[in-house]
Structure 1
Amino acid sequence: MPIKIRPNPAIPDHEVLRKIGGGAYGEVWLARGVTGALRAVKVVWREDFEDARGFEREFEGILKFEPMSRDHPALVNILHVGRSPDGVSFYYYVMELGDDVSTGQEINPVEYEPRTLRADTHQGAGVQWDTNVCIDVGLRLAEALDHLHERGLAHRDVKPSNVIFVNGRAKLADIGLVATRGQRTFVGTEGFVPPEGPGSSQADVYSLGKVLYEIATGKDRLSFPELPDSMPTGIDRKRWLELNKIICDICEPRISKRKISNAAQLADALRRLQRGKRRRQSGGAVWMTTAVLALFAGWASWEMVKDSEWVRRMTPAPKPALSQTVQL
């Protein structure tokens, strides 16, 4: 696809400095607001869509998401949404700026490069992240997805480059892909999209599972379910194995085999792992365990009382056999 040459977008009350990112669904620009604060501005162009309907649908999604973005600590805050001066060329939204990959919150506009999960994994290619950090990142993002899904939205492109860090904490970004859950427009990235396709809450959870696989193993998501070249040792080994079980569950290609089917369940599993507790059992497993325990308790109780005086009193005495007189 040829590179499109476009002028710097005109964003009201902002000085657009330079482009810092982009893809099939828009460009990200570094800009300075009237207060002097540096912001990230996502610009989505109408000409990148086949028809106006798709463009307007994406715009409606960001309008719906804008107020709720500030209600959760693991979602990138959207500060303003607007359209191009002519009203048709593009829409845009202004976001908080993420950390610099090298200098954190000390931003040099000339050299700024956003710190994303992808940037971190590229710096340490093939390196496994600390298990506790993996659990923390996974929990934050699972809770953010649950926040979206409860409000009828899906992200549709969860991947390392769409996870940025703000003040050192992971946040879900590239919200321009957020849409009403179930919308069938195909978006996503190979290896992060489940076999059933994107657009559902369960598909978002699958994608997050592949993100966790990459940082927990140091391998590419296309290598799933290969184990890392070296396994953790000591106390960390048990926690890593439990984390790996969760990842294998949510990345299971067959939907019917996935025990964790939504973001709330994933967050609960990771929260319990973080606290050193066992995972909750599924409904069928709980029923079976309860039934077995009930039968065992009943048998044990009977063994304790079967020879007691009370049982002997309650048990009818056997009737004596009737003797028969034989007449000769």
Structure 2
Amino acid sequence: MTRCRRPGCPGTIDDTGFCDVCGLQPAEPAESAAEPDPGWTDGDRADTGFGELPPIGVKAPESQVRTNPEVPEPHRVCGRCRAEVGRSTFGRPALASGFCPRCGTPFSFVPRLRRGDRLGHYEVVDPLAHGGVGWVYLGRDTHLDGRHVAIKGLINENDPETVEAAVNERKHLIALDHENIVRIHDFVIGPGSEADRPAGYIVMEYVGGKSLQDIKKLARLNRRTLPVEDVVTYGLQILDALAYLHARGLVYCDLKPGNVIHRDRRIKLIDLGAVCERGYRGDVWVTERYTVPESERRSRGMRPDMDLYSLGVTLKELLVNSPEGRPPGARGALRAGLASLELALTRATEPDWRRRFPSAEEMREQFEGILRQIAALRGTELPPKPSSRFAPAVELLDAELYRPPPLSRWTGPADETALETDRIPDSRPLPPRVALELPAPLPDPRDPAAGFLATATTGDPRRLLAELDGFRGRSIEAGLVRCRVHLALAWQAGEAQEFAAAATALEEAGDLALEERRRREAAQEPAEDWRIHWHTALLALYRRKSDEAAAAFEEVRRILPGELVPRLALGYCAEVRDRPSPAAAHYAVVWRTDRTEASAAFGLARTHLAGPSPDRDAAVSVVDSVGPASKHYDAARTAAIRLRAGRIGEAGPGAADLEDAVRRLAVPGHDRAGRARLVTLVRQAALGLLADGSPELPEGEILGSRVTGPGLRLLLEDSLRELAAQATDDDEHDTLIDLANTVRPRSRW
């Protein structure tokens, strides 16, 4: 075990790479915490847009060379296992070359190449930096007007007979062409560590800029800002590069902060010396601190998810040096977005490879969603982006606030109790309804029934079941659609057998999903299926088992931390379990990130009314943020009036609340019947306020040109007679007329 270098800590660094006492990562040697060479220029962060990195410029390449190419002892570590090597002990001088005492990897801190050496038509200038394999040199291409290049030795030169074969084997890397991957110009053979032993060299594009290792150190020393948005954006660009490599059957293998360079507004992976073919089980060059255990590499061969694991470790290191991610860290408004990022990094670095992201594309999709969450919580307004996993929301998840009250509000006993200030209702929708009306998952395009389901557009549940019976293939998606259709029929008919049929359909789909998972695991591919968890949650919610539903929705969120719909579902589960704070956190992320998801706005408004200190103004402010472009705009306007005119617990509305409600009623847009009911609520509330002390109330059409008790009663009588005209039967009509007669003052004069 390696001793922890942090001052005063007696711990050791365990197999996780963290200290077993202080819980932190190993401290860098003192010298390595110094600021890198000056000369880099940071661009103005003010013009950095969403998903962009701030620009970083570089000095001229020749100014970056090492005139004294020595590696200080504190920096001498094994490139593979990071053990200390080449150190002076007991008065003996340090060895510049040798073998790592821990893993046996050869090391050398002596430059092999000198100024003026030629490797084909490439001329060596001077060393640039020392890495795990050896020195990286600045060179010139004598065939292209002295264009600067970077020259680095290949990893394995121990067998002279295989050097040429290794060079030839890697020639195909020259064809790689991606903006986030260093361009390889050539592979050449030159002098090795011994005179009779040749070595292979990779000739690359000269990049310059700052490595993420440099940026991490500067952030730790507070010499450069590293906001969490940059951490996520680094991840997005690296994932673009990894997706490109993986699509070509290649695994990068040695992803770490030192191998990623930030220049201008982009990153580049700068070292392809360790790249191997997918499934390769031989020796590969990795940095143990950033990769999976050797036992896994040997048993599975090199796999794309191992690159994603390395990326997760890399981003974790950057995150803890970010102001928002530095422990313990005051995360404030970004807390909910950071929680999503941490879920993604945890999934990427799962010890059980079956639970990791299966591809760079899927991880990137979640990272983009997480960046949108963080940006929205920071205050950035972003246009909506449709989910690739869930269909757009159709229904508004709210029970009462979104509409004027029904006539039944006034058709009970025709006495003064029906004229009391309206109580703001518990507007949480019922769990079975939410189970049916949450946004539906989109069919997996890889499913055999995906094309068939795209053409099944009927809205009639039984007819859709008949169409599904016509599909004879084995399909997870067809079973999940059956599950949702039977659930809808159970709600319509209240029949237990329909719910049982929904559960059976889910069980059958789950069996197929398990078969698919086992097939993919046999191919050494991660294979978690969030769809089964989602439908398990829907069935639990339908049965009003909100704890079980929340646990299943949490599994979906763990797998899809960048998606908003699971957070909407979790917000509802917290709300229905009377936990307004976590409900508000979920709803706030959804609403701030996607202004089309009005269900989150209504849910957030409801949380402001819950608990011991309800906040009427905050609830109104939330529903007011539903803009005119939303199809639920009119519902939000109605909700605002009901919130202003209603009673919360024992607290009735104030004069300012009624003044606001009157102002809102003056704005055209409400249908006549709905407006009449809202006016009735406002007049009732005003009558109650007058009875409590005659505050000043706004004069005008709604409350009268001179607000008095008798005058309000006359206006309220008129309102109730107008409601009677909306009645659908004689009993309803007669009750409303009786109530109008009850409210009428004893004399009009």
Shared fold (TM-score greater than 0.5)? yes
Q: Which residue matches 1:317?
A: none
Q: Residue type of the partner of 2:302?
A: G
How far 1:80 moved relative to its partner? 2.6
1:163-174 equivalences in 2 (<5 Å)? 163-174=260-271
Q: Which residue matches 2:257?
A: 160
Secondary structure of 1:174 counterpart:
coil
Q: What is the number of residues matched between the two proteins?
A: 278
Change (3 A) 1:176 1:61: farther
1:74-85 equivalences in 2 (<5 Å)? 74-84=180-190
Secondary structure of 1:244 counterpart:
helix
Secondary structure of 2:289 counterpart:
coil
Change (3 A) 1:289 1:244: farther
Change (3 A) 1:273 1:32: same
Q: Which residue matches 2:487?
A: 296
Q: Residue type of the partner of 1:214?
A: E
1:316-327 equivalences in 2 (<5 Å)? none
CA offsets per residue over residues 97-138 of structure 1, 9 Å max, x none?
2234xxxxxxxxxxxxxx211011112227783222112110
Q: Which residue matches 1:59?
A: 167
Counterpart check, 1:40 vs 2:150: yes
Amino-acid identity (%): 24
Change (3 A) 1:5 1:168: same
Q: Which runs of 4+ in 1 moved over 6 A?
A: 85-88, 285-289
CA offsets per residue over residues 14-64 of structure 1, 9 Å max, x none?
332211123443431012333233221123376x425644x4564345312
Where in structure 2 are there 5+ consecutive unaligned residues? 1-85, 87-96, 98-107, 374-384, 391-440, 445-475, 496-749
Q: Which residue matches 1:11?
A: 119
How far 1:173 moved relative to its partner? 1.7
Q: Which residue matches 2:347?
A: 249
Q: Which residue matches 1:316?
A: none
Counterpart check, 1:125 vs 2:231: no
Secondary structure of 2:245 counterpart:
helix
Q: Residue type of the partner of 1:247?
A: L
Q: Residue type of the partner of 1:296?
A: L
Q: Residue type of the partner of 1:182?
A: G
1 or 2, which has the higher strand percentage? 1
Q: Residue type of the partner of 2:211?
A: T
Change (3 A) 1:126 1:85: closer
Q: Is contact 1:45–1:89 with CA below 8 Å preserved after alignment?
A: no
Q: Which residue matches 1:265?
A: 362
Q: Which residue matches 2:315?
A: 212
Q: 1:189 aligns with which of 275, 278, 287?
A: 287
Change (3 A) 1:189 1:82: same
1:86-165 equivalences in 2 (<5 Å)? 89-100=198-209, 115-125=210-220, 129-165=226-262
* Separation (CA, whole Å) in 1 of partners of 2:241 and 2:285: 20
Counterpart check, 1:230 vs 2:329: yes
Where in structure 1 are there 5+ consecutive unaligned residues? 101-114, 220-225, 305-328
1 or 2, which has the higher helix percentage? 2
Secondary structure of 1:136 counterpart:
helix
Q: Residue type of the partner of 1:266?
A: M
Q: Residue type of the partner of 1:161?
A: G
* Separation (CA, whole Å) in 1 of partners of 2:185 and 2:361: 27
CA offsets per residue over residues 54-82 of structure 1, 9 Å max, x none?
x45643453121111x2x11111112333
CA offsets per residue over residues 168-205 of structure 1, 9 Å max, x none?
41111211111112222142112211132372211111
Q: Which residue matches 2:306?
A: 203
Change (3 A) 1:179 1:212: same
Q: Which residue matches 2:137?
A: 29
Q: Which residue matches 2:101?
A: none
How far 1:289 moved relative to its partner? 7.5
Larger Rg: 2
Change (3 A) 1:90 1:186: closer
* TM superposition score normalised by structure 2: 0.34
Change (3 A) 1:301 1:269: same
* Separation (CA, whole Å) in 2 of partners of 1:246 and 1:44: 33
Q: Residue type of the partner of 1:212?
A: L
Higher RCO by CA contacts (8 Å cutoff, separation 6 or greater)? 1
Q: Is contact 2:134–2:153 with CA below 8 Å preserved after alignment?
A: yes
* Separation (CA, whole Å) in 2 of partners of 1:189 and 1:85: 25
Q: Is contact 2:219–2:226 with CA below 8 Å preserved after alignment?
A: no
Q: Which residue matches 1:223?
A: none
Change (3 A) 1:31 1:194: same
